[in-house]
Chain A
């Protein structure tokens, strides 16, 4: 049983964690994404990182509201969250959701919330480089893994290498899709599309992306975003490959390899 500390508890004890883990709505509520949250928390414990979560004091960053055009709701969310974060004197934030990552990092400063924000693959890479995280190579040795760049991690924030470095450390064979990195194709969930039916067209974006992934014949599709994960998992189901090709978050790959 792992005890996940909240910032309120630690503050009451007079302790200040080094980093706040921003779980995000998907990571808190979505059945699939909760597994990613748990895998990441296990890695945090395993590496002895001093962290805390906000728990019930966390609220949506406002990203989907802003992308849907509701700047008002976005700013209400942002101002409320900033009040909480600044109240605790938070300096550094890690999150497994590129949408939270982007919003906290790039859109909160204009409203008075300036923090160092990193994606969980960046923290894991940092822990790896600092010798705190060891990556067991056995279980994925020689497996073909393709990485789907989340738009809000890649193009939006130019983070392309941290997730790839981690995959390579698993001793897996990293295979790139025809559209990758800056040219990566969206999964179809961004811009609040996750919460609505797609406009009419001749195909769904997640199917197109899944087909690109299947072209490189991977054993595993790796993702770094809970929404991409959902979209690609749906794509794989549509192609009736759900037993064969799992869609996994990088944190899950590393935690599984460590048998956590």
Chain B
């Protein structure tokens, strides 16, 4: 009976980890669904291709070759080592050890060797990432919005990965030592090829079998429990991008970046105004719902893709480093736009869960409490942030939607812009010239 304790413990941990994770993912999904629906299901083949190229293929990531290459190593390492996770889980549930080995033969040895090489490369890459952040202190990692939790989060992810990879290699090294020096040890079969962890075996020299087994088991358990913790850490972290990058690239805007979305609420109003049949003095239809707000002052006014974008952002800061406003010292940082949107969305989501499914106004909103008008007005709409985002996040669309609220709901445009718009309204040009004079330039041809 006592033999089954580890199996039962493992199953409990596994089920708990997966349950909490699923619950949190559903929370994210519900929060995203607080946004307005948007039609992004057209042209599915092109969407799959976009996802394959950008998320799976990392094509935009490598545009910055150093960070790109290191990221590809960590990413491929993550995918490859997850194959081994399958065996670890089966072993954990059934109390077996390296259950796939007898079935795979030589292939098993090759696989373990590949996992080891990747574990080592991931370890090296992650250490370089840490150095870039903390020793070289690349500018984009030290901007204002990165203070506090975002900085700690970024470092924690790196520490997690360093610990997990080290545990993985320790577990293999101890296993190899047992296989070589105690070939008759119960439970441990002769399997695997260990190109990296073989160099760890001298550490175990002189140790009794029990001690090495203890180290192997401890590393094995800490590794898998570490993975369960990391899985559930995702919800609180920018590291969510490892999952959300896929739907995010799938639902990305595939059209020319210069074409900003048409606002259908406004189109309805314009149509009504232009309709010669409509009665301008008609009493408002009292049965009608409250008309849609123009633009966005809070996260519920944004669309679901904009909210998905916010959860997907991994705060790499490429957008901010390419932003002409940010480069010239303005307050705007596209990364902060995404982080603010996400933080406010989480706050609204928590408010709703606390209040049994209804949002209780908290006297706050995305505009002003998170994103200020000064940030919004600094944008040149140049699309540099959108172009550079490795996973197709679109900070510009949020900026533009919020400007719509400022101008159409609050009439809070800068005076110069009000003059410009007045000119367009009256003369059909942003400057005070008469429309009848538009052809005057031909006079001295």
Contact = CB atoms under 8 A, between A and B. Distances in A.
A118 interface: no
Contact of A110 (B262, B332, B406, B440): B262
B428 A156 contact: no
Interface stretch (B21-29, B124-132, B382-390): B382-390
Interface in B178-213: none
B330 A200 contact: yes
A199 interface: yes
Given A59-B429, A77-B424, A191-B382, A71 B404 contact: yes
A97 to B, nearest CB: 12
A151 B416 contact: no
A196 B416 CA distance: 5
Contact of A186 (B380, B402, B414, B440): B380
A202 B330 CA distance: 7
B424 A189 contact: no
Interface in B247-264: 255-260, 262-263
Contacts of B99: none
B385 to A, nearest CB: 10
B424 A64 contact: yes
Given A151-B383, A191-B379, A6 B260 contact: no
Nearest to B294: A71
A216 interface: no
Nearest to A41: B445
A199 B381 contact: no
Contacts, number: 224
Given A72-B269, A151-B382, A198 B274 contact: no
B417 A192 contact: yes
A148 B437 CA distance: 30
B416 A197 contact: yes
**Which residue among B420, B421, B435, B441 has the maximum number of chain A CB atoms within 10 Å of its CB?**
B441
A142 B386 CA distance: 36
A60 interface: yes
Contact of B435 (A41, A59, A73, A197): A59
A183 B383 CA distance: 10
A33 to B, nearest CB: 9
B445 A1 contact: yes
Given A25-B429, A59-B428, A68-B403, A102 B258 contact: yes
Interface residues of A, number: 74
B407 A69 contact: yes
A79 B274 contact: yes
Contacts of B384: 151, 155, 183, 185-186
A199 B439 contact: no
B380 A152 contact: no
B377 A196 contact: yes
A114 interface: no
B380 A188 contact: yes
B104 interface: no
A12 interface: no
A199 B435 contact: no
A75 B445 CA distance: 34
Classify chain B: how many residues form its interface, as a range.
35 or more
B327 interface: yes
Contact of A60 (B269, B417, B428): B428
Interface stretch (A50-58, A161-169, A170-178, A233-241): A50-58
Given A79-B270, A152-B258, A197-B416, A70 B438 contact: no
A199 B378 contact: yes
B326 to A, nearest CB: 9
A185 B430 CA distance: 24
Interface string B402-437: 111111100001101101110011001111010111
**Which residue among A71, A151, A156 has the maximum number of chain B CB atoms within 10 Å of its CB?**
A71
A2 B445 contact: yes
Nearest to B444: A38
Given A191-B381, A201-B328, A208-B328, A65 B424 contact: yes
Contacts of B255: 106
Interface in A61-104: 62, 64-73, 75-77, 79, 102
B408 A195 contact: no
B173 interface: no
Contacts of A38: 441, 445
A77 B428 contact: yes
Given A53-B439, A158-B256, A64 B430 contact: yes
A105 B223 CA distance: 55
A23 interface: yes
Contacts of B258: 102, 105-106, 152, 155-157
A3 B325 CA distance: 44
Contact of B380 (A42, A54, A102, A190): A190
B431 A25 contact: yes
Interface string B321-357: 0101101111110000000000000000000000000
A258 to B, nearest CB: 15
B295 interface: yes
B442 interface: yes
A4 B408 CA distance: 39
Contacts of A28: 429, 433, 437-441
Contacts of A54: 438
B287 interface: no
Nearest to A186: B382
A204 interface: yes
Nearest to B264: A110
A38 B400 CA distance: 34
Contacts of A106: 255-256, 258-259
Interface string B264-283: 00110110011000000000
Given A29-B431, A42-B445, A157-B256, 4 more contacts: A102-B256, A157-B258, A200-B329, A202-B329
4 A-B pairs closest in CB distance: A156-B258, A106-B259, A69-B403, A191-B381
Interface of B: 255-260, 262-263, 266-267, 269-270, 273-274, 294-295, 322, 324-325, 327-332, 374, 377-384, 386-388, 400, 402-408, 413-414, 416-417, 419-421, 424-425, 428-431, 433, 435-442, 445
24 contacts: A23-B441, A28-B441, A34-B441, A38-B441, A58-B428, A60-B429, A67-B260, A67-B400, A70-B404, A102-B259, A106-B259, A110-B262, A151-B384, A152-B258, A155-B257, A156-B256, A188-B324, A195-B420, A196-B416, A196-B420, A200-B329, A200-B330, A201-B330, A208-B327
